[in-house]
């Protein structure tokens, strides 16, 4: 048995009381035997008390409590003729007790049985922790509403769980020589980084074979032979030790790779760790798949109804129908939702300065952004000349406010063709959350949302006014 895996037994008590051949049997059984405590606690204490010990129970209790032994289980080997000694030792906290004459193969079997039982208990605890962690991560992944949020959650939670040096998600497909990194655990700011896949042979292999690729040592594995030559030629010092690439499939096609790497000195990834990460990755793929299906259904529903040609959003008639449906569903099942009316501030100035055609293009870009940023169950319609209305199921007033704040960040990052960079139009928003005491009919929500919008335009903080805010 390799030295690293040998259980260490500390012999205590009276050496003359020990069974003859004890150390020899233990060493042959694969144990490391010592009579002196070292820096780390032993795995077992083997105590042979002197026949003259008057208070065996107190001696055993003292051994179980000494901090340098770390709570190691105590096995007591009792001299011949000590009536009731085994009972006394066990009640005092000994893990096991044998009376002389001690049959050494039996002692060895009892030690092995304890090791086996302890390993099973540890595996059961790890399985329980893994199950709880799996459930927790899956809940968070399921709560994400957009693909980028799913990827970010995936790499963050798995990276934290295993203390990885690198964990990322790379979008790519069979035949591609480039990949797009959309989420990185150690650098969350990276959301869209193009990479040459020739530098990552494990990703190429995972996509090609459609199977997980696990490389325990990139400095020896033949898959990395070519890239190692590149490292050597360019005098690149690489601290990577192991690499794992888990292909992720969406609707039956390889869509990307969940990518893990460890550095020298990091804990080695076990097979159970890789299986756990793969389970999470495939679960995230199912969430992404379901989200895409819901989005497709939503787009078909919008296309089947009346849409506003300029913005691509739904028309007022479609908004009326959707609000009535959402109102009835929330009333019947005691759910909540929000109606938001958004005003594009100073659109008339854009029309006056650049012309109505440019203003219409700005409205079209805003409509496209709104449709892209909404979750699959959400709904957006053109509400007026420079106004839009959004219906957000399962969203309270606070959630409506956060949606507008996020939308402003998206506008700020977007370059409007007619306005130029860093010149996004400002918006005001009125939010009403249902249930609301004054909303007895769907029409009441329009009145409340319009009143909230007026308050926002009249100087509400952040130009957002929320009625029914929690």
pLDDT one-digit tens code per residue, 94-125: 999 998 888 999 999 999 999 888 888 877 77
Look-up of token digits 């992944």: 141
The answer as to whether 131 is a domain residue is no
What band does 327 get if pLDDT is binned at 50, 70 and 90? very high
What band does 1 get if pLDDT is binned at 50, 70 and 90? very low
What band does 297 get if pLDDT is binned at 50, 70 and 90? low
The answer as to whether 124 is a domain residue is no
pLDDT at residue 3 above 50? no
Q: What is the largest CA-CA distance in the chain?
A: 109
Show the domain range for 67.
3-117
Same domain, 316 and 417: yes
Choose among 330, 342, 334, 454: nearest CA to 387: 342
CATH code at position 347: 3.30.70.270
Pick the residue with more confidence: 265 or 326? 326
The answer as to whether 132 is a domain residue is no
* Residue 300 burial by Cβ neighbours in a 10 Å radius (0-12, 13-18, 19+): exposed
Domain count, the chain: 3
CATH code at position 279: 3.30.450.40
Tell me what pLDDT residue 128 has.
66
What band does 295 get if pLDDT is binned at 50, 70 and 90? low
Tell me what pLDDT residue 4 has.
47
pLDDT at residue 361 above 60? yes
Least confident of 48-57, 116-125, 376-385, 415-424: 116-125
Pick the residue with more confidence: 246 or 253? 246
pLDDT one-digit tens code per residue, 61-96: 999 999 989 889 999 998 766 668 899 999 999 999
Average pLDDT over residues 195-204: 92
Average pLDDT over residues 379-402: 91
Pick the residue with more confidence: 446 or 300? 446
**Mean pLDDT across the chain, nearest whole number?**
85
Tell me what pLDDT residue 284 has.
76
Average pLDDT over residues 303-310: 69
User: Mean pLDDT: which of 145-154, 176-185, 247-256 is highest?
Assistant: 176-185
pLDDT at residue 449 above 90? yes
Choose among 106, 82, 64, 79: nearest CA to 15: 79
Same domain, 151 and 283: yes
Same domain, 241 and 173: yes
CATH code at position 12: 3.40.50.2300
Last residue of a domain, one of 258, 293, 328: 293
Tell me what pLDDT residue 272 has.
83
What band does 470 get if pLDDT is binned at 50, 70 and 90? very low
């Amino acid at each position: 048995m390799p030295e690293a895996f040998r259980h260490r037994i500390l012999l205590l008590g009276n050496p003359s009381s020990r069974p003859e051949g004890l150390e020899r049997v233990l060493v042959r059984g694969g144990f490391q035997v010592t009579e002196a405590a070292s820096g780390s606690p032993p795995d077992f204490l083997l105590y042979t008390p002197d026949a003259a010990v008057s208070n065996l129970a107190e001696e055993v209790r003292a051994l179980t409590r000494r901090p340098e032994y770390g709570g190691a289980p105590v096995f007591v080997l009792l001299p011949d003729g000590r009536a009731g000694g085994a009972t006394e030792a066990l009640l005092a906290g000994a893990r096991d007790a044998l009376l002389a004459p001690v049959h050494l193969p039996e002692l060895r079997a009892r030690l092995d049985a304890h090791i086996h039982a302890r390993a099973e208990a540890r595996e059961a605890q790890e399985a329980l922790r893994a199950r709880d962690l799996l459930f927790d991560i899956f809940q968070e992944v399921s709560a994400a509403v957009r693909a980028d949020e799913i990827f970010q959650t995936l790499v963050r939670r798995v990276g934290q769980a295993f203390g990885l040096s690198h964990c990322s998600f790379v979008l790519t497909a069979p035949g591609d020589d480039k990949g797009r990194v959309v989420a990185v655990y150690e650098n969350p700011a990276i959301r869209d980084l193009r990479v040459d896949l020739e530098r990552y042979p494990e990703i190429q292999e995972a996509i090609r074979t459609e199977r997980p690729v696990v490389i325990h040592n990139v400095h020896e594995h033949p898959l990395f032979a070519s890239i190692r030559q590149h490292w050597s030629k360019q005098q690149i010092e690489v601290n990577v030790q192991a690499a794992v690439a888990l292909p992720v499939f969406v609707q039956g096609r390889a869509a990307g790779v969940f990518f893990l790497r460890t550095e020298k000195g990091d804990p080695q990834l076990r097979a159970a760790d890789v299986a756990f990460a793969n389970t999470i990755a495939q679960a995230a793929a199912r969430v992404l798949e379901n989200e895409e299906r819901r989005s497709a259904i939503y787009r078909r529903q919008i296309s089947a109804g009346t849409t506003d040609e300029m913005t691509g959003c739904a028309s007022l008639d479609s908004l009326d129908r959707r609000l009535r449906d959402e109102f009835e569903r929330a009333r019947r099942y005691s759910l909540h939702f929000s109606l938001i009316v958004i005003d594009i501030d100073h659109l008339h100035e854009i029309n006056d300065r650049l012309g109505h055609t440019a203003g219409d293009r700005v409205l079209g870009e805003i409509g496209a952004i709104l449709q892209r940023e909404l979750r699959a169950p959400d709904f957006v319609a053109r509400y007026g000349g420079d106004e839009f209305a959004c219906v957000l199921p399962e969203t309270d007033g606070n959630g409506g406010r956060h949606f507008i704040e996020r939308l402003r960040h998206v506008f700020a990052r977007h370059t409007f063709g007619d306005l130029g960079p860093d010149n996004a139009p400002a918006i005001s928003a009125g939010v009403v959350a249902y249930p609301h005491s004054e909303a007895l009919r769907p029409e009441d929500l329009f009145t409340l949302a319009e009143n909230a919008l007026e308050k926002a335009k009249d100087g509400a903080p952040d130009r957002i006014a929320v009625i029914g805010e929690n």
